[in-house]
Structure 1
Amino acid sequence: MNTEIILVVQLFIHVGREVEFQQFEMEAARIMQKYGGRIVKVIRPIGSGQDPVLPHEVHLVSFPSMEQFELYRNDSDLVKLADLRQSAIARTEIVIGQEGKPYL
């Protein structure tokens, strides 16, 4: 079944690695487009950088299907970015779901 998926991605970066993080994100977003994926929204939590409990950024990401997301994750160009990703990102937390209807 090809149902759009939404990811809520919390990205915790290594201190002082904002430039590497931006480089990785720009390349990852470019690769994501090949599979119909896109970063819908970037949220910077208030106080991130001062509070280690908060992620540096939270991304809402969409893909047309779980299959397209898996293809993206296994893309050879993305795999080549592993060292850059590791140098910039300390931890990633992902919740995968489908869009629901608002209550109001």
Structure 2
Amino acid sequence: MKYLKTLTNFALLLSLVLSCTTKAQNSNNNTKKTGKMNAKNQEIVNVALMYIKNEEEARFEEYKKKGGAILEKYGGKIERIIKPKMLAEGKMEMPDEIHFASYPSIEAFNKFNKDPEFIKVRNEYAIPALKDIYVFTSKNTNFESRKEVGDKSKTYGVALIYFNEGEKYEKQFEDYHEEVCEIMPEFGTHFERFIAPFQSKGSLEQPDEIHRFYFDSMEGLQQMGTDERMKALFPKRDASLKNLYFFIGEASL
């Protein structure tokens, strides 16, 4: 695939892409520091990194089918499934699939997970099929107004973002925030999700934010990496991130 040949500058580009969500990140600082949030009547997005056992793909597909049908009873849906093809930044075992499921509220989320029918399906299909799973339950940030929706033909990026602590790092992002957001649309980068986890399951550290975005073309993204305006911004962001996992892949849903 062509985009697998263009990953050299993607990690650098990603941090610039992420800077356009700085205002959303700043608005959630109090939630992250206290570990609390009022999610009542707010949309919830569950992000799951799935690791499927060899020769258990059919069983897992059945879980998605049956579990998705139960999810719809609670007003939820599996809105996007990304199959990573490359881990462009960070060091971890690459998941087989990354699922994004949305729920109308935390109440609906909790009721779904306690549903006896779903528990039976999970025990019969998901647990035997998976060797590992990381789950991050998240709320929308106030950057939702910039959300766009892609389709299965697009190449997707999923970023798990860990910010350094301290106001100076937030200020560092703010300093070039507006510049970056003015440049990126020229190269066909679009954002689908900006969410902030408030609880997690599994051994992977809970990120500060999870971003999902898509590209009109890999050529456009590569051109953005050589743009002199963008290159001038690279040094400003280096100290702002504590950690970053950046997956590039295709959408199966």
TM over 0.5, shorter chain: yes
SS at match of 2:140: coil
Structure 1 residues without counterparts, runs of 5 or longer? none
Whether 1:4 aligns to 2:43 is: yes
Gaps of 5+ in 2: 1-39, 147-176, 182-253
Give the deviation of 1:67 after TM superposition. Answer: 0.9
Counterpart secondary structure, 1:44: strand
Structure 1 runs, 4 residues or longer, greater than 4 Å off: none
Q: CA deviation at 1:47?
A: 5.3
Does structure 1 residue 22 correspond to structure 2 residue 61? yes
The count of aligned residue pairs is 101
Distance in 2 of aligned mates of 1:23 and 1:47 = 26
Offset from partner CA, 1:10-42 (integer Å, 9 cap, x none): 111111110000001110000000111111111
2:131 counterpart (90, 100, 103) = 90
Distance 1:10 1:93 in 2: 5
Q: 1:68 aligns with which of 91, 108, 114?
A: 108
Say which of 120, 125, 136 aligns to 1:80: 120
RMSD: 1.9
Structure with larger RCO (C-alpha < 8 A, sep 6+): 1
Distance of 1:90 and 1:31 partners within structure 2? 23
SS in structure 2 at match of 1:97: strand
Q: Structure 2-normalised TM-score? A: 0.38
| Aligned residue number for residue 45 of structure 1 | 84
Specify the code of the residue in structure 1 equivalent to 2:127: Q
Distance in structure 2 (CA, Å) of the matches to 1:36 and 1:90? 29
Report % sequence identity.
26
Q: Distance in 2 between matches of 1:6 and 1:24?
A: 19
